């Protein structure tokens, strides 16, 4: 299982599921739905937070928040 936190910059993936219920509620309303395509667009200089392109906009989240998002790499 790969999480959003493991993705490298520019890698594309699909969201599969969430491991943290409270965070998932926030992420879902921000448009991070299971099945949605996601790509890391930018990583902060100190490695955290990260920015992702999702649902037509740019979202930033901390590394541990990203770790709660299970993704599947798109070839």
Interface residues with other proteins (CB under 8 A) are 21-31, 33-34, 41-42, 44-49, 51, 55-62, 65
**Pairwise CA distance, residues 22 & 37, whole Å:** 21
Contact present, 11 and 73 (Cβ < 8 Å):
yes
Closest CB to other proteins among residues 19, 34: 34
Closest CB to other proteins among residues 14, 33: 33
Q: How far is the CB of 1 from other proteins (least distance, A)?
A: 20
**Pairwise CA distance, residues 75 & 71, whole Å:** 13
Q: How far is the CB of 2 from other proteins (least distance, A)?
A: 20
Q: How far is the CB of 17 from other proteins (least distance, A)?
A: 11
Residues 6 or more apart in contact with residue 28 via CB below 8 angstroms: none
């Amino acid at each position: 299982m790969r999480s959003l936190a493991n993705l490298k910059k520019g890698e594309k993936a699909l969201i599969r599921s969430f491991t943290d219920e409270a965070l998932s509620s926030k992420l879902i309303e921000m448009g991070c739905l299971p099945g949605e395509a996601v790509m890391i667009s930018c990583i902060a200089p100190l490695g955290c937070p990260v920015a992702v392109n999702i649902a037509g906009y740019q979202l930033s989240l901390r590394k541990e928040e990203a770790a709660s998002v299970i993704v599947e790499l798109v070839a």
